[in-house]
């Protein structure tokens, strides 16, 4: 009895058309109270509706499972990017069906109105897709896939549940990483917002001897090769390689602030992943240090093949802390363990000049021994408030406070620059582009 209920009654639903026809027949019965000749007509319509509904039920429920569905999804998602989920449906009924798909997407997305409607012809297999944008790293669980099937009569609906539990890991933004990797290999990073910089100084890393072309530096003419070839030959130099590039990620409470659903820590992690890949493509060594009130993970700079896998695994597990960051421990670690001059890209955030001044001595000490680039964030919501019109005293108060905080950010930039520390103040959504730009600029200027 339980098996009969689960197979033939539990999946049964009546469609909207059934209820509309039933309401019409009930109204006809009510009207027949005054017009008796309508009573037999209402009875005939009722029997007709019951007969059609029974036929619709038998067509949908009797026989083997005649419709199949499958969810096709990658085993990992890219954090902050649109990730595609594909659903395929095969119709083995001898007639077209109308299907409504309800996918039990992970709870993190809070999609309570998910529904895809489509029509599938007899013997047809079709695919449909939707996209999901996660905003935090971790494990996401898909559950069952539900199909609500109707015949062309659309009186009865059958629910078919496909067991489709699946776990998906949400990793730092590897989709954007691939885009930057292709652009870096093709030397076409300008499409991503990068700009060409005039090179300062002269690289000493020899690459090859080539024929002179207009624009080559005449100081690099190789006279012996010129005499042998009978035409001007010049030495060709390339950018110095194997330089150490460390990303320093602050995991303190200041990095918990959210923008567009993602925390500042997630923006920093995505930028670190992409910047490290670009550095490896440029033949530099990429490393990583995470820190908060204690030192977290330390990955020594290297350019071996497995370096990106190690970076991705470490970045996937990072979480913000709720205590104030200890820059003194970071400085001690760098002084004792990293002796070669390196480029340090510090991802952090300062909301006030006083918060910077507490950490400034340690930041200056790092900058004395290494090339330090401090990257922190604009509060884009405050910038929007500074541009609003003032209609009352409350608006004036809010705008004044917003302008004060924005002014503090500019003071922080000037304070760092006065001590010779390169600084980027950027909106979170532009973090990756601006950081890669600055790295390429420093490489072009031979600053490392």
- Per residue in 406-429, pLDDT (tens digit) is 888 889 999 999 999 999 999 888
Closest CA to 271 of 361, 193, 164: 193
**Mean per-residue pLDDT, 242-255:** 91
**Mean per-residue pLDDT, 399-408:** 83
Closest CA to 382 of 358, 405, 411, 361: 405
**Mean per-residue pLDDT, 40-61:** 92
Question: Cα–Cα distance between 49 and 155 in angstroms, integer?
Answer: 9
Question: Cα–Cα distance between 147 and 118 in angstroms, integer?
Answer: 11
**Mean per-residue pLDDT, 91-105:** 91
Q: Is the pLDDT of residue 142 over 50?
A: yes
pLDDT, mean over the chain: 85
pLDDT for res 217: 73
**Gyration radius of the chain's alpha carbons:** 33
- Would you place residue 207 in the very low, low, confident or very high pLDDT band (cuts 50, 70, 90)? low
pLDDT over 70 percentage in the chain: 91
Residue 148 has, within 13 A of its CA and on its CB side, a CA count of 17
Q: Which tokens sit at 172?
A: 């730092």
Measured distance between the N- and C-terminal CA atoms of the chain, rounded to whole angstroms = 77
Q: What are phi and psi of 42, to 5 degrees?
A: -65, -40
Sheet holding 125-132, edge to edge: 67-72, 83-91, 125-132
Question: Cα–Cα distance between 291 and 306 in angstroms, integer?
Answer: 23
Q: Which tokens sit at 370?
A: 């290494």
Higher local confidence (pLDDT), 14 or 237: 14
Q: Is the pLDDT of residue 51 over 90?
A: yes
Q: Which tokens sit at 222?
A: 């190789």
Q: Is the pLDDT of residue 186 over 80?
A: no
Q: Is the pLDDT of residue 444 over 80?
A: no
pLDDT for res 230: 81
User: Beta strand pairing status for 97-103 and 116-120?
Assistant: antiparallel
Q: Which helix (DSSP H) or strand (DSSP E) does residue 118 occupy?
A: strand 116-120
Q: Is the pLDDT of residue 280 over 60?
A: yes
Strands (E), 199-321: 205-211, 233-238, 244-250, 258-259, 262-263, 285-291, 295-302
**Contact by Cβ (8 Å): 263, 240:** no
Ramachandran sector of residue 300 (left: φ over 0; alpha: ψ -120 to 50; beta: rest): beta
pLDDT for res 238: 57
Higher local confidence (pLDDT), 202 or 422: 422
- Would you place residue 442 in the very low, low, confident or very high pLDDT band (cuts 50, 70, 90)? confident
Residue pLDDT, tens place only, 338-393 = 988 999 999 999 888 888 999 999 999 999 999 999 999 988 777 777 777 777 88
Is 298 strand, coil or helix? strand
pLDDT for res 360: 93
Q: Is the pLDDT of residue 9 over 70?
A: yes
**Mean per-residue pLDDT, 211-239:** 77
């Amino acid at each position: 009895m339980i098996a009969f209920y689960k197979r033939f009654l539990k999946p049964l639903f009546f469609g909207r058309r059934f209820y509309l026809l039933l309401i019409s027949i009930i109204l006809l019965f009510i009207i027949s109270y005054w017009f008796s000749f309508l009573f037999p007509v209402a009875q005939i319509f009722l029997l007709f509706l019951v007969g059609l509904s029974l036929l619709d039920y038998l067509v949908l429920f009797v026989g083997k499972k005649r419709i199949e569905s499958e969810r096709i999804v990658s085993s990992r998602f890219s954090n902050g990017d649109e990730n595609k989920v594909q659903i395929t449906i095969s119709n083995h009924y001898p007639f077209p069906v109308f299907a409504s798909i309800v996918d039990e997407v992970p709870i993190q997305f809070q999609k309570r109105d998910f529904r895809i409607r489509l029509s599938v012809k007899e013997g047809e297999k079709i695919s449909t897709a939707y996209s999901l944008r996660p905003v935090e790293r971790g494990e996401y669980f898909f559950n069952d896939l539900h199909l609500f099937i109707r015949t062309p009569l659309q009186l009865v609906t059958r629910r078919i549940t496909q067991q489709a539990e699946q776990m998906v890991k949400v990793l730092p933004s590897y989709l954007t990483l691939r885009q930057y990797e292709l652009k870096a290999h093709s030397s076409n990073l300008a499409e991503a917002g990068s700009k060409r910089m005039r090179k300062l100084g002269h690289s000493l890393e020899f690459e090859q001897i080539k024929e002179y072309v207009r624009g080559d530096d005449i100081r690099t003419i190789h006279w012996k090769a010129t005499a042998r070839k009978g035409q001007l030959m010049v030495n060709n130099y390339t950018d110095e390689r194997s330089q150490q590039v460390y990303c320093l990620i602050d995991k303190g409470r200041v990095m918990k602030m959210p923008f567009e659903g993602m925390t500042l820590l997630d923006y920093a992690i995505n930028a670190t992943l992409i910047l490290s890949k670009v550095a490896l493509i440029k033949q530099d060594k990429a490393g990583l240090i995470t820190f908060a009130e204690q030192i977290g993970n330390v990955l020594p700079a290297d350019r071996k093949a497995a370096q990106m896998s190690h970076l991705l695994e470490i970045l996937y597990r990072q979480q913000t802390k709720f205590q104030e960051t200890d820059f003194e421990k970071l400085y001690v670690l760098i002084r004792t363990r990293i002796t070669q001059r390196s480029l340090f890209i510090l991802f952090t955030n300062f909301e006030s000049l006083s918060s910077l001044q507490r950490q400034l001595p340690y930041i200056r000490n790092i900058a004395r021994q290494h090339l330090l680039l401090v990257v922190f964030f604009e509060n884009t919501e405050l910038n929007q408030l500074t541009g609003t019109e003032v209609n009352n005293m409350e608006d004036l108060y809010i705008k004044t406070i917003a302008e004060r905080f924005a002014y503090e950010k500019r003071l922080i930039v000037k304070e760092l620059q006065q001590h010779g520390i390169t600084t980027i103040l950027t909106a979170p959504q532009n973090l990756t582009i601006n950081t890669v730009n600055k790295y390429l600029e420093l490489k072009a200027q031979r600053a490392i």
